[in-house]
Structure 1
């Protein structure tokens, strides 16, 4: 039996696992980045270890540090949560090689399903139909052009190692393809292509299979309310499925799990069209963010099931869904500013209460929301006997929710679920983006959706820096120990340690260039308009560029965004590198205008 579990994650999912561990009498061990030192998941864990650092790469994505903590804390199991290293076969194998239980499917299963091209080929081998596409890497432009000639636009390019909606770009024309190949150069073999279906719903199955060969679909879920392939509202069970579709979903899910000898919990994702056609998308070999709604309609604790299956025990029998449940992702995104992630300090926090209301949160009042990690603050889960009753209860709960200091889409969600278009189910995965978001640009329509005008935007704080620490030798009950603490603990009385606002170059505020739409300050520095990760820098210092040339590829909310040269000129300075986190308004690339360059040379 597992007795000590290291939770290799953060925020609400870490706290979720810690709570179930405590219910089962299992010691929980947390790890944390500098900015999470006082987070609730850290204080609630039985033990907590500093990872030292602030960025993904040096903390929650650092396998060596996590394995070191696992060894030092004598953990006998590792729960990866979701995201971070949860789907990395090498990390799972390293955990097993250390003699520690990996709470998830085997490294071999992660390898077979984590690569989406392999997953497509696997599906085809067991007569599970994927979305029409190319079951191989994009090795040339000709390959894609031939597919377009046969299937037409739109198409979608996806990263083979994406998962969770990452690395997905919809192509509507040859010009979009030109931009795609310009953005990725000779690295397109990491992508594959599928036909893009505008009118399909995103329906998934929460599956479980134990080491004794028992398999079950615990519930279906509908996750069609999405923006940029990021799920916003999820529900279980999936409502109003065409006749025979649920039987197909269960059958295909079983085939996929049994084909790879899957042991553990996972999710099979599909597109369901109005005429009942079903197409396979992917298998997510981990716990999903939206697992809560499956728990609510069945009464099962899915983290407990993960722990029991990993211990070799039989999984529990899955009861038939007995109610209807919604999950609302409460993110620090401002609907009045196009759902751009915001930062700030949570100055007031009041959660809704009452029957059928559940909160999964990683924040407290007074917490500063930074651009360093995912913008999701919490999950509001509402359950009632019927879908209609759950919608009514959700509107009440969303109205009770009171978060100040950062913008959230709570009021928007309340209006969205009340729309006639939402009944008896959300129309398609494009509905929110094509129908709801455009209304937000009209003040009258936005007001009807409960969205207030955006406050004047302010530059976000700079990327977090590793804390300076001091180490002392102390004696505890006569035992010599080293104590390491942040130097800020020695700040003078009344002094507050906070992150200042990063000034833009020259102390002047960047403005949107009227012709290019890019944020450019008076020195020619092109700044990021969004919080994102730098995927690729496409230029070099000294390189001449023309207006519209691609400078940087960013990834935000699981979708790529392109930053272009605002005018003809020369790249004078590059302020970022690939893989770096950037906040909104942070400098990216400085471009000197062509005329100014000529003057400097005279």
Structure 2
């Protein structure tokens, strides 16, 4: 077994590999760029080596620097994680020349399966079911249009060397093929250094289901069930689960056996994933094989009890798999939510900045569930514009799917992240979405259910009453604390006023205290709308999470002080709350509403990013839907289009310029 390994990656996956290596008694080496000097993976590793500037192209993607770090520290093997160099055969070969072990498959398998075009050719030869498409070299946008017409719309344009949704576009007509071809090539070149793309038929109402395989150097290959990854946005996975609620035993077995056959055909070693598109009739089509560890691997680990990173290390060290296919059992259900630094209320645009507060839910096993949080950040860390926007991968396990979803919902409600925008509210709302809970999924789920983007969930009457009770309890506890500090010689009087009004957003909820004293723990009956709610909590002022019981229901909600009130976040609901006397509420209803400033004649930068191009000139008339500018942030190009017919009066930005959020790019007449 290895004595020391180097992790050629960063963030949560580097931390995750370090945890397993530490448990195995293996020393670890981290590498870091200028931007990651104070990163968590650097702190966790036994040693750390600086490898260059912040941009990945000058640090994490430079194979020579990784090899030099191995020589400097005496690392015997390299775990690549995912992304960066994980599927680059030339890196694997370079390591082998230096006598350093690559913890992953051999170059032959990487070359055969890591390239999407070549993998499809190989799969066709191996009689694996594949999606109809064109696998040759596409010369230009006109050639792409011709191919798309022959295949039939809609089509998917994909980067050959891609992954993680980068360099991928769906086109429904000729115009979208031309634009999508250019964007896909540009993103592919930026992210992978390879601008080749291919085109295939886009399966309508598809489900994205993948099979995890493990193989050793002795001819043993097994599959560890499947993961469903159908909840995606811009082809980037958002939530995953294992097993899939859609597959039956027959389909699961067929997909697993095809995956094993494909792995055997390329003499695969290590962990790998065979991805399929599955239609409504459970017909499945091979998409690609990822010759690396997948982001969503924890859900497989939770339902099988197998540490995939450990098996990768053991296989690389020449050991045999310690189990056969008959030993693989799926136990319970696991769900993963990817926490991203992005603003769900602004069409999920990237957000960067410092984590002023980062308080994930406690990990571990409770009576009914397991909570796991794979992360690479900490309170005070900075989310950089240079890398992927992932903050953490929150996972829950339970005996049944609905129990795992409920556990996830509660964990998300208690996941506190401040300082940047993030998608926790969206994920929390997803856990309550009827279609998600019923398992009626497709890769178009987010686009179909949130066609106008995500907005805070509107509470129903019951939810309003519950949140009003939470807000009132917090306000009373704070008032009681102020009273005790103001006059320590006087015992707390408890609730001196019985009638209150709680403003939640634009709604006013009348509440009356029925019975109880304001103490900690708080235990009081509150009457709202003719119904009495018994509220019990040990919340204290300053706590970011309110945990308690409202009318027999367990509640976990986030609570933050704002000017003259509180902000409550619960199950995707986000409301400003004020606790008022009835007279104050009467007067507040008369206050005029302040309107936001008019920005209809401005194109604002929706997130911090780099201006890639400006597509217009001053004085130009543009039509609705036309491209105005392209801004790159966190390795993704974002096309800004005209929302209506306009005339450009002034251009305030230029290509290559870095802009802050809401910086003015264009002005219109």
Normalising by structure 1, what TM-score? 0.78
SS at match of 1:381: strand
SS at match of 1:418: coil
Q: Distance in 1 between matches of 2:57 and 2:165?
A: 21
Answer yes or no: is 1:410 the counterpart of 2:487: no
Q: Distance in 2 between matches of 1:442 and 1:450?
A: 6
Structure 1 residues 265 and 81 mapped into 2: Cα distance closer, same or farther (>3 Å)?
same
Count of aligned residue pairs for this structure pair: 522
Q: Distance in 2 between matches of 1:181 and 1:544?
A: 28
2:408 matched residue in structure 1: 394
The question of whether the paired residues in 1 share the 8 Å contact of 2:158 and 2:184 is answered with no
Q: Distance in 1 between matches of 2:210 and 2:202?
A: 18
Partner of residue 438 from structure 1, selected from 444, 448, 452: 452
Answer yes or no: is 1:345 the counterpart of 2:354: yes
Alignment of 1:159-558 (within 5 A): 159-180=159-180, 190-242=196-248, 244-317=250-323, 319-353=328-362, 354-355=365-366, 356-436=370-450, 438=452, 440-441=454-455, 444=458, 450-452=572-574, 514=601, 518-519=603-604, 528-530=605-607, 537=613, 547=622, 553=630
Q: Distance in 2 between matches of 1:365 and 1:376?
A: 15
Q: Distance in 2 between matches of 1:336 and 1:142?
A: 37
Q: Distance in 1 between matches of 2:433 and 2:653?
A: 49
Q: Distance in 2 between matches of 1:121 and 1:543?
A: 48
Deviation at 1:533, TM superposition (A): 7.1
Deviation at 1:180, TM superposition (A): 3.5
Q: Which has the higher contact order (CA 8 A, sep 6+)?
A: 1
Structure 1 residues 441 and 181 mapped into 2: Cα distance closer, same or farther (>3 Å)?
same
Unaligned runs of 5+ in 1: 455-509, 520-527, 596-602
Q: Distance in 2 between matches of 1:374 and 1:433?
A: 22
The question of whether the paired residues in 2 share the 8 Å contact of 1:202 and 1:270 is answered with yes
Q: Distance in 2 between matches of 1:69 and 1:155?
A: 43
1:503 matched residue in structure 2: none
> How big is each residue's C-alpha offset from its partner over 1:74-126, in whole Å with a ceiling of 9 and x where there is no partner?
11101111111111112121111111001111222222222211111111111
The question of whether the paired residues in 1 share the 8 Å contact of 2:31 and 2:50 is answered with yes
Structure 1 residues 574 and 349 mapped into 2: Cα distance closer, same or farther (>3 Å)?
closer
Q: Which range moved further: 224-233 or 432-441?
A: 432-441
Deviation at 1:550, TM superposition (A): 5.8
Normalising by structure 2, what TM-score? 0.71
Q: Distance in 2 between matches of 1:277 and 1:531?
A: 42
Q: Distance in 1 between matches of 2:620 and 2:608?
A: 25
> How big is each residue's C-alpha offset from its partner over 1:385-404, in whole Å with a ceiling of 9 and x where there is no partner?
11111112112211222222
> How big is each residue's C-alpha offset from its partner over 1:488-528, in whole Å with a ceiling of 9 and x where there is no partner?
xxxxxxxxxxxxxxxxxxxxxx99664xx743xxxxxxxx5
The question of whether the paired residues in 1 share the 8 Å contact of 2:241 and 2:333 is answered with yes
Deviation at 1:245, TM superposition (A): 1.5
Structure 1 residues 243 and 214 mapped into 2: Cα distance closer, same or farther (>3 Å)?
closer
Q: Distance in 1 between matches of 2:429 and 2:452?
A: 15
Computing the radius of gyration over CA atoms, which structure comes out larger, 1 or 2?
A: 2
Q: Distance in 2 between matches of 1:97 and 1:197?
A: 43
